[in-house]
Amino acid sequence: MTTIQKTNKCSFVFKIFLFFNLLVCAIPGYSQQSGFTGSWTLQQRISLSGNDYANGVPNEINFSKNGEFVTISLLNMNQSRGFDTIVLKLNNSGQPTKSITPSKREKLSTIKWLESDKSFVQANEYTTPGRKESDQKNILTWTLASQGDTLTIVKVDENYINGETWSMKGIYKRK
């Protein structure tokens, strides 16, 4: 074998090695990446309209996105000023997900991704047992800052029974 053949063979082996290293390192990080993934802590709660509810937005959020599901764990203040953890497992494709709330209401939730995984809308519809129509709806718009260190959630809530409507903004920092 000549020196040129050995050099070409080494160059080919190096290119294959480099290609597989890039494949192994880059693709898993890309495929599992979601800018929202991780833990978030409330920094500021701003009432935009209507009543200013202390429990209007969660105090802490844990977010994970895995394949067809998004899992959101929320640490919320309850009516007794204590805290409850609520875990939502939502269908990532936009299909409705049905769950039961701590107050025994049926909750129908959907999410719709916007702007290439930097923003999504979560819509929740609540129905009290024994009622045929929903009695409350809220829409949350989740937006990730371009640097990925700040999350903003704008929540608009409408109660169909008493006609109350309010909105609030929560600003979160990554833990």
Range of the domain at 26: 1-31
pLDDT tens, per residue, the chain with 175 residues: 554 454 455 455 445 443 444 333 333 333 334 689 999 999 999 999 999 998 899 999 999 988 899 999 999 887 777 898 989 999 988 899 999 988 899 999 999 999 767 899 999 999 999 998 999 999 999 999 988 999 999 999 999 999 999 999 999 999 9
Helices marked H in the chain — which ranges? Answer: 3-31
Q: Which CATH number is 113's domain given?
A: 2.40.128.20
* Judgement on whether residues 131 and 102 belong to the same structural domain of the protein: yes
Residue 9's pLDDT is what?
52
Residues 25 and 108 in one domain: no
Long-range contacts of 84-90 (CB under 8 A, 24+ apart): 90/122
Q: Do 115 and 87 belong together in one domain?
A: yes
Instruction: Say yes or no: 75 and 131 in one domain.
Output: yes
Q: Do 27 and 59 belong together in one domain?
A: no
Number of domains in the chain: 2
* Integer angstrom CA distances of residue 109 from 50, 98, 134: 23, 6, 12
If asked whether residues 168 and 95 sit together in one domain, one would say yes
